[in-house]
Amino acid sequence: MAFIEQYEVIWPALLVAVPLVGAMLAVLTARAARPVVFASIVLMAALSLAVVARLSHAGAYRVAIGGWDAPLGIAFAIDGLSAAFIVVTAIVMACVMLAGLPKFAPQLSAATLPPPVSSPAGAAERRRGRGSSREVDAAARLGARDERHGWIPFPALRAAGDDTNGGAEVGGAGSVATVAASNSETRAGYAFIPLALLLWAALNAVFLSGDLFNLYVALELLTLSAIALVAIEGKAAMIAAAIRYALFALFGSLAYLLGAAMLYAVYGTLDMSLLAEQITPDAMTIAAGALMTAGLAAKTALFPFHAWLPPAHSGAPAPASAMLSALVPKASFYIVVRIWFDVMPHEAGEIMPVIMGVLGSCAIVYGSVLAIRQERLKLVVAYSTVAQLGYLFLVFPLAGGGGDPQPWAAGAWTGGMFHAFSHALAKAAMFLCAGLFMEAVGHDRIAGLRGIARHLPMTAFAFALAAITLMGLPPSGGFTAKYLLLTASFAGGQIGWAVVMMIGGLLAAVYLFRPLTYTFAKEGMEAKELVTLPRARQLLPLILASLAIILGIASAAPYDFLQIGRPEAAEEGLD
């Protein structure tokens, strides 16, 4: 413990620096993709545990980067909430990146590459008619080289006959058309790991930053990485979805930045701790808070800003969908929580929390109804995200707005955070399960998944555990979250929000019961119709779904940890 406290300044900075360095290494050498991923996961796990140990022993603290404190420098603020998000992010990112390795970072060896063009074997191959020099030159322009050059920009390139990874032949049998057809796949393999690591770095920067402008920078890096992951496979539909996402994100960025500029014009600082000391409830301050909240709501996909989310999350590759749905919306929601509970708790008034609660309620009902109507599994899961995000915004009306101390506010605040964590774990597991079903069957049509649990029992069981969490059934973390929110609702006499939550739980049971019914049907497809998947790949979503259940069973420790450095408004409510 003495060692951890001695270097407490270093751990938060490394939580951002390690994935950034990993992303650069993954770009510089595609061969190091797998070692970079493994090393990043181990280092990030160790750093996350170090921060948790430091907080548990000595409480919340701030780190002035470079020794320059605010307002001149940048400060990281670490408390129970930020550390809990960092730990959940580390768990989800570790499982998702490992799940994406078989698809996006296939092994590359000398046997998978053709002989170099200038070698005798390459010349003999051309003389046998297995590839013209023009075809070889065209393939070379795509970026593949032989083993001796030590640089292979597109690690997904494969020799002919490797059907597992759908690779292209370079300099061997096949044509330029074959190589060009797999070009988008090779780009995806080259870009996925750097983008995922950049996303990880941006998420940690959001959870650690104590400055509104620094949050903006981290949020932009997060958004750019997320948009690129949506369009990573280069399909026309996904490029359109990424552009739509970018337009909503642009509106959100401009609104947030304008609100931050207004606060800086009035108070001369954007450090959240300094703002909390100086801020006054004037018209300019309230307008700035409203602008930033509107921009962040667009990035969180809160109703009615949700239109970009379903096509983006349902069409992206399963590992990308898992990151996008489980973690990316939580970052902007986290900033909203920080703004209103840490910086401007006395400026919320009575109207703002109600507006947030109404929009959250609309998201719960609207997203659930649309999820019920979908025929594709990934679309069901995507619209479920729209609905589940609505619960997060019920924290604001349940945490006050009446002007008097609200003793139930602590339960509402903690319940909202529990819901964010349990949803992150369960939704990541659900998208990974959907991806495995698609690999095995070749599609994600719900009616075509009949009886697949007999062939992929671990995946089906993981999907069922995740569904239990999203429905809010005991003993899951989702149940703990909704119990805390419902308790706060009844204690405060706000029965309307409780009714919305109960309706949302019933609707969740409806839209999740249908895929579960088909998945666990006694009769279904034959094993010969399916692609065999190793059990090791099925273990990852099962780990995530099980952790979502364990979060509810062993909820006392996370509950107590969240109280470290809890803002005063989370105890007494918003004014």
pLDDT in tens, 224-271: 999 999 998 888 888 999 999 999 999 999 999 999 999 999 998 998
Give the pLDDT band of residue 124 (cuts 50, 70, 90): very low
Share of the chain above pLDDT 70, in %: 79
Segment 383-430, tens digit of pLDDT: 999 999 999 999 999 887 555 556 667 788 899 999 999 999 999 999
Q: Could you read off the pLDDT of 361-371 as tens digits, one per residue?
A: 999 999 999 99
Q: Over pLDDT 90: what percentage of the chain?
A: 55
Q: Please give the C-alpha separations between residue 360 and each of 286, 410, 501, in angstroms, as whole numbers.
A: 21, 19, 10
27 pLDDT band, cuts 50/70/90, is confident
DSSP class of residue 211 equals B
Residue 280: pLDDT band with limits 50, 70, 90: confident
**Sequence-ordered list of residues with C-beta below 8 angstroms from that of 261, at least 6 positions apart, any chain:** none
Task: Report how far residue 481's alpha carbon sits from residue 381's, in angstroms, rounded to the nearest whole number.
Answer: 20
Q: Is the pLDDT of residue 133 over 90?
A: no
User: Distance (Å, rounded) from C-alpha 518 to C-alpha 448?
Assistant: 8
Sorted by sequence, the CB contacts under 8 Å of residue 215 that are 6+ apart come out as: 206, 209, 335, 338
What number of CA atoms fall less than 13 Å from residue 283's CA on the CB side?
0
pLDDT at 435 (0 to 100) = 93
| Residue 32: pLDDT over 80 | no
Higher pLDDT, 193 or 137: 193
> Are 216 and 256 in contact, with CB atoms under 8 Å apart?
yes
Average pLDDT for the chain: 82
Higher pLDDT, 68 or 250: 250
Give the pLDDT band (50/70/90) at residue 132. Answer: very low
Instruction: Say what the pLDDT of residue 406 is.
Output: 61
pLDDT of the residue at 11: 79
The predicted-structure confidence for 460-476, as pLDDT tens digits, reads as follows 999 999 999 999 999 99
What pLDDT is recorded for position 429?
Answer: 96
Cite the DSSP H helix spans in 373-456. Answer: 377-392, 395-398, 409-441
**pLDDT at site 530:** 74
Question: Would you say 500 and 394 are in contact if contact means Cβ atoms under 8 Å apart?
Answer: yes
CB–CB of 318/232 below 8 Å? no
